[in-house]
Amino acid sequence: MPYLFTSESVSEGHPDKVADQISDALIDNFLAYDASSKVACETLVTTGQVVLAGEVKSEAYLDVQDIAREVIRKIGYTKSEYMFEANSCGILSAIHEQSPDINQGVDRKSPEEQGAGDQGMMFGYATRETENYMPLALDLAHKLLLELAVLRRENKDIKYLRPDAKSQVTIEYSDDNKPVRIDTIVISTQHDDFDSDEKMLAKIKEDMINILIPRVKAQLKPELQKLFDGFDINHHINPTGKFVIGGPHGDTGLTGRKIIVDTYGGKGAHGGGAFSGKDPSKVDRSAAYATRHIAKNLVAAGVCDEVLVQVSYAIGVAKPCGVYVNTNGSSKVKMTDGEIAKKIEEIFDMRPYAIEQRLKLRNPIYSETAAYGHMGRESQVVTKVFNKGKKHEKTVEVELFTWEKLDYVEKVKAAFGL
């Protein structure tokens, strides 16, 4: 019987994502000046206030207030009427030194034996459903908000947009798990005040349906564009009505509260650990990236059409407790999922230090992950400048989203005889 599946996304101006972006900007700045930094920092944002807290072990000294303000400014909170504005918000820092009890479990005389920064399980997922091996509903939800942000910054076709927004996409699937049509699109966008609430709702709905959605549709392959055609899609645009008060003034934001948006939109599984604000010694982050890298390369190599990969750790121990694989019956090789898991352990070294080296994680690459998903993004080399125009300006060339590279496809094919 056909079924419906839904995923959501939130914009860079959503309060939880503001918090994530500040936390990851701190990570990047620490790593830019001291690649061995150990950091776990949390951010809270609310009306006119930012609170920074967490633990750090680093040789670097940062102006955390300046970093936070620059993030808020870049997102677009630059007007006093937002009640949360880059230049005027108060910023309180309660960042302190990392516990030596935790650090002794991570650092080792031999770097290769670096222990996991915490216990827990992490998941990676990949599917042939889209070109970037991501679940379709989440991919579309992200694309809607990415394009909405483009429209906001262009300030031409739509001139009333404010930074906070959410999207949600529901897709109908056939019995054989193929997407058939888009059933529902939900978009809630913060906006400037209008003279008339009735005219406001009509204008926003018209613009989302006639400007935003067609621009997103045009980015898709023809077979995905067909999911929009010939169907009576349910559009819920700002369904609560007026959405002038938003961002951190409308809702308090915290680091790590959008972990499903960050990963696979509810497809696959999640181990529960957030990513933003954590340096790569925290396996919540690094092992989640590593399992995504494995899953994507397995599917791309033709081992299966869909796969969920789990890895688990004990704090302070380098070797994983175990690796688990579930191909949901889509395997193309004559192996059980358990045998595939054993083969993965032979191909990929999942010790924390090996993951850091393989994916180049001790670089300032995390700010870009903190909005619109950590997975399914494009791997690329960029040049980043820290403390631009100031005494300690530093320019760094880094490779973003290394876990999205298909650099192990040939190794996987060789190992599985494909």
274 is in an annotated binding site: yes
* Residue 98 annotated in ligand binding: yes
Q: Is 166 marked within a binding site? A: yes
Instruction: Give the CA dihedral 362, 366, 368, 370, nearest 10 degrees.
Output: 160
State the Cα–Cα distance between residues 281 and 4, nearest whole angstrom.
38
Instruction: Name, in order, each residue with C-beta under 8 angstroms of 139's C-beta and a sequence gap of 6 or more.
Output: 130, 132, 376
What is each CA distance from 401 to 60, 143, 267, in whole angstroms? 24, 17, 20
How many CB atoms sit inside 10 A of residue 316's CB? 17
User: Under a CB-based contact definition with an 8 Å cutoff, are residues 11 and 163 in contact?
Assistant: yes
Is 209 strand, coil or helix? Answer: helix
Partners of residue 384 on adjacent β-strands:
396
The verdict on whether residue 242 carries a ligand-binding annotation is yes
Task: Tell me whether residue 278 is annotated as binding.
Answer: yes
Q: Are 188 and 201 in contact (CB under 8 A)?
A: no
Tell me: is residue 349 an annotated ligand-binding position.
Answer: no
Among the listed residues 193, 187, 151, the one whose alpha carbon sits nearest the alpha carbon of residue 10: 187
Tell me if 243 is assigned to a ligand binding site.
Answer: yes
Q: Residue 55: which H helix or E strand, with range? A: strand 49-57
- Backbone φ and ψ of 12, nearest 5°: -65, -20
d(CA 358, CA 399): 12
For residue 374, say whether it is annotated as part of any ligand binding site. no
The annotated binding site for K(+) is made up of 42
Sequence ranges of the binding site: 14, 16, 42, 55, 98, 164-166, 242-243, 251, 257-258, 274, 278, 282
Q: What residues are designated binding site for ATP?
A: 14, 164-166, 242-243, 251, 257-258, 274, 278
Question: Which segments are annotated as binding site for Mg(2+)?
Answer: 16
Binding positions for L-methionine: 55, 98, 251, 282
